[in-house]
Amino acid sequence: MAMLPNYDDRWQNTLHWQPQNSQQQSFQQLYEAILVANQQVNLTRITTPDDFWEKHLWDSLQGVQPWLSDLDIGAPALKVVDIGTGGGFPGLPVALVFPHWAIALMDATRKKIAALESVCATLGIANVGFLPQRAEQVAHQPVHREAYDLALLRAVGPVNTCAEYALPLLNLGGQAVLYRGQWTAEEEAGLVAILPRLGGQLLEVRSQVTPLTQGVRHTVVVTKIDRTPDKFPRLPGIPAKTPLV
């Protein structure tokens, strides 16, 4: 099986963090297990070592950069939900680097979640849970509503759709990290316009360039400042088909 690169200098230069040897080994095991599972279920098209390193490992972790710098000072454990996790990104790399966090991997496609369950069982990843359901359903279940400190969403749809999925799941003061590629002033204005209806507020937008291929990334961080009205998220399919405007 191909070996992942060990780009300690690139981690340091971009995120001011680098994996410990044991974490590098966990990344390698994750890579191998995802490639094996990928033969049964379509989890990812990103499979070469450099692509996996940059677009799955590095990219997943750049979204949580503020927490990486607190790792060694005993920062609190967070309850996290990765909405639309697909092949386990960004949730699985985050679970490996933050073993004290509890990460729920959510996806509407049951067979992807089943594949991730077996990957996690094989690797002994114990700080993850599995939600094979749509965000629109999970967010109306009392055990999940307003129950998370952090929601992660990468490649799940328009930003206003993502906000409608995420904010109902967050507790007050919780944050949604929206992983975006390009980010325009129009998108930002459109998001800022609808956030008050969901109880959200834009906290910051960080921009990054991916370290190997210089791709553009934006990390849009939203905080929950008010309770989300019970009518959100709307019925399954509606937030994607008709994003809030």
For residue 160 the two structure tokens come to: 């206003």
Q: How far is the CB of 35 from ligand SAH (least distance, A)?
A: 15
> Using CB atoms, what's the residue nearest to ligand SAH?
86
Residue 135 in contact with ligand SAH, rule: CB under 6 A: yes
Nearer to ligand SAH, 217 or 224 (CB): 217
- Alpha-carbon distance of 172 to 180, in angstroms, equals 23
For Cα atoms 87, 93, 98, give the angle at the middle one, nearest 5 degrees.
140
Residues 6 or more apart whose CB falls under 8 angstroms from that of 12 comprise: 18
Backbone angles phi, psi at 176, to 5 degrees: -110, 130
Residue 85 in contact with ligand SAH, rule: CB under 6 A: yes
Q: How far is the CB of 51 from ligand SAH (least distance, A)?
A: 12
Nearer to ligand SAH, 98 or 225 (CB): 98
Residue 164 in contact with ligand SAH, rule: CB under 6 A: no
Query: What number of chain residues touch ligand SAH (CB under 6 A)?
Result: 18
Nearer to ligand SAH, 26 or 85 (CB): 85
Strand ranges, E, within 26-169: 79-83, 102-106, 128-131, 148-154
Q: How far is the CB of 165 from ligand SAH (least distance, A)?
A: 6
Q: Which of 52, 68, 125, 134 binds ligand SAH (CB under 6 A)?
A: 134
* CA-wise closest residue to 233 among 212, 241, 17: 241
Kind and range of the H or E run holding 196: helix 185-198
Kind and range of the H or E run holding 85: none
Residue 144 in contact with ligand SAH, rule: CB under 6 A: no
Residue 107 in contact with ligand SAH, rule: CB under 6 A: yes
Residue 84 in contact with ligand SAH, rule: CB under 6 A: yes
Q: How far is the CB of 156 from ligand SAH (least distance, A)?
A: 5
Q: How far is the CB of 111 from ligand SAH (least distance, A)?
A: 10
Residue 61 in contact with ligand SAH, rule: CB under 6 A: no
For Cα atoms 77, 81, 84, give the angle at the middle one, nearest 5 degrees.
155
Identify whether the C-beta of residue 48 lies closer than 8 Å to the C-beta of residue 57. no
Residue 87 in contact with ligand SAH, rule: CB under 6 A: yes
Residue 42 in contact with ligand SAH, rule: CB under 6 A: no
Residue 154 in contact with ligand SAH, rule: CB under 6 A: yes
Identify whether the C-beta of residue 178 lies closer than 8 Å to the C-beta of residue 158. no
30, 92, 96, 156, 194 from 27: Cα distances, Å: 5, 9, 8, 24, 38
* Residue ranges binding ligand SAH (CB under 6 A): 83-87, 89, 106-109, 112, 134-136, 154-156, 165
